[in-house]
Structure 1
């Protein structure tokens, strides 16, 4: 069982290398450009993707591998008062879009993470970000879902297995943070 999981992980990494390197490179350039322009990165996801959003945001405001200035990375998953008030007043599918409306400015980057690419709350946040004039980056899996039509760039992990998709999302998050480190 253990060796099968390791081989499955290895196989998806190889697929990502073979098919997504250019997209990941483009995402790195976008994130670095946004931060160099004095803008911020807003990130959201549900469940395990919420944890990934928080992880990436922490690497920006804290540090990844090297000492550098703190950078504005905000996970929209951590303010329980906002999450519960918005869910209560507007419905859960608006918990991220309302925060995007409140916090985002033109030129910021919104990263939405959804293994299916179809999470309505994430889709609503992409729509809000686009209206404001944010750049948008999706991290998804399977066929990319509805995120394909609303992201500037949707990096689609070529797998139907949630665990493999999530493993690649955090790897891509680390690659993005390494690109930021290298730029500062």
Structure 2
């Protein structure tokens, strides 16, 4: 139910695909849904919460609470493989997974993670394939796209512009 709610800014993805739906706890006819927004000032949070509330009430829950969880913070590593596939199909280049996330694949349960402060990850180190033609000769035109979480790119091969979800 809550997992099927579409993201208001990326409607081809559900909140579960995007990794924003952090947890759902049920206790009989009561339910609490925890959302981790892509960033604390995300303007779509109120709409996401209202949509989750509406879906859960329609499913028969009498007491619905939608809470925000900012710790741990959201990361583009939370986007599921299905979410990355849907982004590419919609013509939006998905972010690269971090090397830490790739190395943690298959790790059992939560574990401490070393924190190294440094520059924000960018796509400069890895090629960004064009979601339209698959070409690797692409360039970033603007760090700012239609929403705060996207950048504007262009493929030099097919000359088509496309958006890309920024790594966080």
Note whether the superposition's TM-score is higher than 0.5.
Answer: no
Higher helix share: 1
Higher strand share: 2
The higher radius of gyration belongs to 2
- TM-score normalised to the size of structure 1? 0.27
Specify which structure has the bigger relative contact order, considering alpha-carbon pairs within 8 angstroms and separated by 6 or more residues: 1
- TM-score normalised to the size of structure 2? 0.29
